[in-house]
Structure formats: C-alpha cells, structure tokens
C-alpha cells in the first residue's frame, strides 16, 4: 500500500470512530433503582415498562414499601436513584437528611376509602361504623402516609378507632381484608380499585379532608442522575400522568 493510500485509510477510520462516538446512546448495562410507595406499584410497573421501551438496554429496579420504611432505608445508606413518596411528610424527611437533589415535584394525589369484604357483610356505611363493637378494622401505622391520613380523619370526625392491627404499608392493610383477617381496612381508592371484586369499596365524605399528595425526586447520591431525571420526567409528563389517571390517581 502506498503512503497516500495508507493515510487515506487512516483518515477514514478516524472519521468513522468520531462519527460513532458523537451519536447519543445509552451504555448497555445502565440501570436505575426507584424507591416508591406501595400504592404506586400498579402504575409505576406500567410506567417502568414504558421507560424501558424509551431507553433500550436500561434496567429499572423498583422497591415498593411504605414511604416511612423507604425513608428509613435511605437514611441508613440504601442505594437508590429516585424516591416517590405517598406524602410530603416523608419526602420532607428525605430532604432534611440531605438525600434529595433539587426540589421534589408533586405528581399525583390519592384519597382514602374503606375496603370491606365483597357484599359488605358488616353493613359498613361510613367512617363512624368502623368504631362499632364487633368490627375488626385494620389501618396503616401513623408514620405511614395512609396512617397519617387516617389520623386526620379521626380528628376531623371525633371518631377514635381501635384497630386490630396497624400495618407498615397500605397493601398490607388490603391483604388483611382480602384474606378475611379483618372486616374492614382504610386504604386508598387506587388500592381498592386494583383489588377488583376481592373487596367492596365504601367511600366516605370525610376522606376529602385528608387527601395525600405524592412527590417524586432524584436522589443526590444517584449513580445515574441523567436516567433518574428521565424517569421523573416520564412520571410527571403526559404519558405517566395518563397511566396514573387510569389507575385512579388525581392531579395535585
């Protein structure tokens, strides 16, 4: 090969490498971990599939639990990229601990309802009926968002409940009802809807005084803040909001 031809070949190779490196791409093996409130599982599972479709070769791992438990895990050093809480109180705890990067964004609201066995055999008609003798009611523990909301309703109605158990997540409350371990449980309207014919939902007007707002934020120690921000944008954008609305959430 002549010196001229060798030089031309080398220039072509350099040009090809430069062209390939300039194209935006997502490295294979990239992933993000999303800590999200238990009540978000059906919606975020769908949103996660959309995120993976939009970002090939990216893995999304979810950890669903009560928001208070998630904050505890984060403050103890758990690795995560995004945190979505079922209330502002627990997001504030994360922010005060220096875990949040930037300002959290409110993306949904949720309202309490009473979940009872199909057909409502105990004849529960309202929140006051949960305090009647012979009614085994289950609620979320006070630190959990659904538990904090339940306390607000108790104060507003001057009705004090005597629950047979206090659970660490709203999904645990629902499970107690669907398995027959409780006559009634205070859950979100989204959870009752997701349970389908396994429960009957009994709305009560006082729930309007304890609506929970859901914020989401990228975490400061995220190993991939670019992807984490993309996920937040999806949740707060049109596509994510459509999924949330279909699951029964309302806008903040």
Distance between CA 218 and CA 251 in Å, rounded?
20
Rounded CA separation 165/140 (Å): 8
Residue 51, classified by CB atoms within 10 Å of its CB into exposed (0-12), middle (13-18) or buried (19+), is buried
Binding residues: 39, 67, 170, 188
Phi, psi (deg, nearest 5) at residue 207: -60, -25
Alpha helices in the chain (DSSP H): 3-22, 41-54, 67-75, 88-96, 145-157, 170-178, 189-195, 225-236, 238-246
Binding residues for molybdate: 39, 67, 170, 188
Cα–Cα distance, 36 to 143 (Å, whole number): 16
């Amino acid at each position: 090969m002549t010196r001229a031809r060798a030089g031309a070949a080398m220039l072509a190779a350099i040009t090809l490498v430069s062209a390939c490196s300039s194209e935006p791409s997502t490295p294979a093996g990239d992933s993000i971990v999303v800590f999200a409130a238990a009540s978000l599982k059906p919606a975020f599972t769908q949103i996660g599939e959309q995120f993976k479709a939009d970002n090939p070769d990216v893995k999304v791992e979810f950890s669903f639990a009560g928001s208070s438990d998630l904050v505890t895990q984060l403050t103890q050093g758990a690795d995560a990229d995004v945190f979505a809480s079922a209330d502002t109180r627990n997001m504030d705890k994360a922010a005060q601990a220096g875990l949040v990067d930037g300002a959290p964004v409110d993306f949904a609201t949720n309202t309490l309802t009473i979940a009872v066995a199909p057909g409502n055999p105990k004849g529960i008609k309202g929140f006051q009926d949960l305090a009647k003798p012979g009614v085994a009611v289950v609620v979320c523990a006070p630190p959990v968002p659904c538990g904090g909301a339940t306390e607000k309703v108790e104060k507003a109605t001057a009705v004090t409940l005597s629950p047979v158990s206090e659970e660490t997540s709203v999904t645990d409350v629902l499970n107690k009802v669907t398995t027959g371990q409780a006559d009634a449980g205070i859950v979100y309207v989204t959870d009752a809807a997701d349970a389908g014919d396994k429960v009957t939902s009994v709305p009560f007007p006082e729930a309007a005084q304890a609506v929970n707002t859901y914020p989401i934020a990228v975490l400061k120690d995220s190993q991939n803040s670019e992807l984490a921000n993309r996920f937040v944008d999806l949740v707060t954008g049109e596509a994510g909001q459509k999924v949330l609305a279909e699951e029964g959430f309302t806008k903040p």
